[in-house]
Chain A
Amino acid sequence: MSRRIAPVLAERSDDPRRAINLTVNGEAVTRDVSTRLLLSDFLRHDLRLTGTHVGCEHGVCGCCTVLIDGHSARSCLTLAVQADGSAIRTIESVAADDGTLHPVQRAFKECHALQCGFCTPGFVMSIVSHFEEAGTLDLSEDGVREMLSGNLCRCTGYQNIVAAVRRAAELMGRGGKG
């Protein structure tokens, strides 16, 4: 291709913006964001926390699941400005600082509960939130499958994810019915 004169390229758009303050994985964050920016894109592109994945952007697949103030949420169905003042936790915060896997992550590895890994952070966040919130875990086959039912996986057929939930409960000393 022949060398051309470098084009003048825009650096940014003229979207309206707003400052937000929040906590992400325990760190205070202040950023100026477009008011229409999705929380998923904010985490991935502005904060470079690319472990939160985007699979459908209409709230069905669960790849983008994060915890907002302790509760699981679709980051694709949340505007970044809505998260102002919140505490967000993403997949990057789940393992210990020294790299030791969280029991849910360890169980996934032991049970071969992931293949392509794209849906995996969303599953892990959903399960972690469930473990943290639920008093008694329903570890019956149907109970675990219902726990997993907000997340799509196209590779595993879910069976090993079910096994991983039970294994994680065992590792965490979380008995349950079933």
Chain B
Amino acid sequence: MKPPLFDYVRAETVDEAVAARAAHEYSAVLAGGQSLLPTLNFRLARPDALIDIGRIKALQGTAIDGDEIVIRAMARQREVEYDEAIFAANPLIRETLGNVAHAVIRNRGTVVGSIAHADASAELPALLLATGGAVIARGPKGERRIEANAFFKFHMTTSLAADEIAVAVCIPRLPPGTGYAFLEFARRHGDYALAGVCALLTMGAGGRVASARLAACGIGSRAVRLVAAEAALNGQKPDAASFAAAAKAARDAVTASDDRQASIAFRKHLLEHIVGRALGMAHGRAGKPFAS
């Protein structure tokens, strides 16, 4: 289990990285490496070049830019997880990150890297979808913004072009009082989820749900918005009945086939169950200040 041969390019600037990407047919971008290195060690991936963006100054760190949190490509997951300003702006980010693998992986792994890797069971794509974030891509033709709902195509496949690099993701600030929750079920602590869900509840006039946003991972070929469940909630009273109806509506979002750990029926059951619980949690937090 040793990596195959590849050209190693250490980019000092984003332009260098983009140029290197253009110069190689099957390059891979090396950021934290926590998803890429296992595939290299198993020789499942055989890129002709690794473009190491770890030293690019412009890709370090995070910023809060008005209503958006900007997480640059080299911001490690733990750095984002423990950032108090980010927590204050959107506490769902910390809650979701806490479920991503183990602390030691989050020490090296990047938020952008996990999103660009786009594993169908990974938590962060669901976060990006639920929050309505976007990916900032840089290519030979410059920079473009890809909205979350247009980014994830399939398991480990995104709308990022082969000559582009994801340089940042943007996640909106949550309006104060938004109810939020991330819940997942994994076989072992830290494993990818058999089913996971991000839930956001904004309450409106008359104590009714003004807006519900739900996204799930682990249930199909990519992270998905649970639109039927959202529709079942919008304008409803946030009670056991509406939550149960929404949870039931979520079941049809499961498209994964039977696998080693879960039959389709079990995944539907699980998703229904955790959507129900996540809605309860989110509702419990709605209207309150964000607190850990």
Contacts and interface: CB of A to CB of B under 8 A. Distances in A.
Give yes or no for direct A-B contact (beta carbon below 8 Å): yes
Interface of A: 15-16, 18, 35-36, 38, 41, 57-59, 62, 65, 68, 71-74, 76-79, 81-82, 126, 129-130, 146, 149-150
11 contacts: A16-B8, A38-B37, A38-B41, A62-B102, A72-B104, A73-B104, A73-B108, A77-B38, A78-B33, A81-B8, A81-B52
B2 A36 contact: yes
A19 B101 CA distance: 32
Contacts of A16: 5, 7-8
A68 B33 CA distance: 14
A74 B3 contact: no
Nearest to B41: A57
Interface size class of B (residues with CB under 8 A): 20 to 34
Interface of B: 1-8, 10, 30, 33-34, 37-38, 40-42, 50, 52, 54, 78, 101-105, 107-108, 189-190
Task: Give the residue among B2, B38, B105, B107 with the most A Cβ atoms within 10 A.
Answer: B107
Contacts of B1: 57-58
B7 A150 contact: no
Contact of A146 (B2, B101, B189): B189
A18 B78 CA distance: 29
A72 to B, nearest CB: 4
Contacts of A68: 107-108
B104 A18 contact: no
B28 to A, nearest CB: 12
Contacts of B33: 77-79, 82
A68 B105 CA distance: 12
A74 B5 CA distance: 21
Nearest to A134: B103
